[in-house]
Chains A and B, each alone.
Chain A
Amino acid sequence: MVDTPFVIAGRTFASRLIVGTGKYSSHPVMAQAHAASGADMVTVAVRRVNISDRSRESLLDYIDTDRMFILPNTAGCYTADEAIRTARLGREAGLSNWVKLEVIGDERTLFPDNEALIEATRVLVREGFIVLPYTNDDPIACRKLEDAGAAAVMPLGAPIGSGLGIQNVNNMRIIREFARVPLIVDAGVGTASDAALAMELGADGVLMNTAIAGAQEPVAMADAMKHAVIAGRLAYLAGRIPKKMYATASSPVQGMVGR
């Protein structure tokens, strides 16, 4: 079955799976997981250089930047101003105007502060950024972000790193129906079926970090996620059968022996 390409802000991606670079046991394991995932976009965080310890190897030494598009995030930012500042620094460090915008509203849940997120989106879009905001699974927040100029909407499936899978399937369906920009389920994926479900619901892509990096075998899980995203996408395009309460026989009822 021929699919339409996965395009965000005019840029085409080969894979609908976007992966993180955090929490890996080592950089080589991360590089292997990235290769197994088939992803061609990775997220990174923007942090102060460790001045006293310059011996540590650079993350970028382990990312194939010819193949991978780098998406800096504003993780850990709690105000619009902080996120805007971090986005601007990320742009200078990476020389790309794309940003995964996060404005966190609460430490324990890491749920987004939607009001500040919308405000930061508006400012950064005006400055020429391609803004991909991490948001709540709220169709109205997604619509407002789109109106503010977001290049995609990235609702959470469940809290970051929770591995709970998509908690509000119905909201995700509604967001799918509303969204005129790419819909990427970001955060909350625990295992392959969660990623497949996101795609079956019609998401254009899935973004994950912990589900792969935290698995006992990250490289194998990256491979599983690659297949899950492909399978879920195909199932969405194929059009699933309706759910029914009772059985419908698959074998003919005529011609039974002895009747």
Chain B
Amino acid sequence: MFITLNGEPYELDEPMSIVDLLAKLAIDPRRVAVEHNLTILKRHLFGETVVHEGDCVEIVNFVGGG
């Protein structure tokens, strides 16, 4: 199955939670914000929110800026 991850197609074997997706991507959940199908998720919802086929996920973090 495919999802759209940060604007690009991304293949997953099966639906998985945001926590598992972040772990798969080796991303520290404490340092990012996640938007799932245009809804911004509170961090405590990462475990119970499941990503399904066709979903849109945005993962953002802080970078240098002025």
Chain A residues in contact with chain B, CB under 8 A?
Answer: 20-24, 30, 43-49, 51, 54, 58-60, 70, 72-73, 75, 88-94, 160-161, 187, 207-210
B35-66 residues with Cβ-Cβ distance < 8 A to A are 35, 40-43, 58-66
| CB-based closest 8 A-B pairs | A45-B65, A209-B66, A20-B66, A92-B33, A93-B33, A22-B64, A44-B62, A21-B64
Smallest beta-carbon distance A190→chain B, Å: 14
What's the interface size class on B, roughly?
Answer: 20 to 34
Bound: A61/B14 CA distance, A:
33
Residues of B contacting A24 in the complex (Cβ-Cβ under 8 angstroms): 64
Smallest beta-carbon distance A204→chain B, Å: 19
Pick from B32, B40, B64: contact of A44, CB under 8 Å: B64
Q: If the complex has contacts A20-B66, A43-B65, are A89 and B33 also in contact, measured as CB distance less than 8 A?
A: yes
Q: If the complex has contacts A54-B27, A92-B40, A92-B42, are A48 and B66 also in contact, measured as CB distance less than 8 A?
A: no
Q: If the complex has contacts A49-B32, A54-B25, are A94 and B62 also in contact, measured as CB distance less than 8 A?
A: yes
Smallest beta-carbon distance B53→chain A, Å: 18
- Structural contact, A89 and B64, CB atoms closer than 8 A: no
Query: What are 11 A-B contacts with C-beta separation under 8 Å?
Result: A46-B61, A48-B7, A48-B59, A51-B10, A54-B25, A59-B64, A70-B62, A75-B65, A75-B66, A89-B33, A93-B31
Q: If the complex has contacts A89-B35, A92-B33, are A48 and B64 also in contact, measured as CB distance less than 8 A?
A: no
- Structural contact, A20 and B65, CB atoms closer than 8 A: yes
- Structural contact, A43 and B60, CB atoms closer than 8 A: no
Bound: A237/B43 CA distance, A:
46
B1-44 residues with Cβ-Cβ distance < 8 A to A are 5-8, 10, 25-28, 31-35, 40-43
